Every structure is written in structure tokens, then in C-alpha cells.
Amino acid sequence: MNRRALRENTFQMLFRVEFHDEKEYEEQMNLFFENMEEISDEDKTFITDRFKNISEKIPEIDKKLDEASTGWKTARMNKVDLTLLRLAVYEMLFDDDVPKAVAMNECVELAKKFGTDSSPSFVNGVLSNIS
């Protein structure tokens, strides 16, 4: 699986955070992988590790998002946009392997695919305020 596909699958798994308790994450992960046709053990490990790392940092990430977004606190954000922003902020601040510009661009591309018509400009605007 290429990096874009790994990022998209991580986003889809991370989206479940909004609808399930932490104690259900393992079950949700199993269901997620069960519905995939073919996935390597290496890709499963990458997605699982990335999901866990982001989930642990959600309070810190959300604080950054609240500071960076004008008039839109995380509690009011569209859940797709919020999940995309969490993924991008994690990559921008905590993953040295992903350049900030790449994290931002990939988030905008995912917003075009999964978000509303206004999602790409919204996530781009919020991410451009994060340093």
C-alpha cells in the first residue's frame, strides 16, 4: 500500500474515534481490517500504530486546532474535517518523516474526497495557522 492509501485508511479508522469509546478501539480495528480485501501485516501495523499514536495525542492536537481556528472550536467542527485535521496536525508536529507541506496537501486532497464543498478551503485555512 502506498503512503496515500495508508493515510486514507488511517483517516477512516481514526474517524471511528468520534463514535466509539476507547475500550472499543481494538474491536473497531479488527472490524476495519476484516472488511479489507487484502492487506499486508506491515500495512496493518502501520495503520494500527498510527491510529494509536494519534488517538493518544488528541487532547494536545485539539488544543492546537482550537488555537489555530478562528470561530471554529473542535466541538463545532464537522467530524470529517476534524478527523482530517487531527491526522494532518499529527503528521505536521509529530512525524519527522512527513514534510509539513505534504501533510497539508494530503489533508486537502482527502477533504476533497470525503468532506463537503467547503472542507478543502477550511482545512487548508486552519492548517496554515499551525506552526
Query: What pLDDT was estimated at residue 51?
Result: 93
- Domain extent listing, the chain: 3-128
Q: What are the start-end ranges of the E strands in the chain?
A: none
Which residues, other chains included, contact 43 with Cβ-Cβ below 8 Å and sequence gap of 6+? 1, 6, 9
Is CATH 1.10.3720.10 what the domain over 3-128 is classified as, yes or no?
A: no
3-state secondary structure of 125: helix
Query: What pLDDT was estimated at residue 91?
Result: 96
For the chain, give the percent of residues with pLDDT over 70.
99
| Alpha-carbon span 89 to 129, nearest angstrom | 11
pLDDT digits (tens, 9 = 90+) for 16-66: 888 887 788 888 888 889 888 889 999 999 999 999 999 999 999 999 999
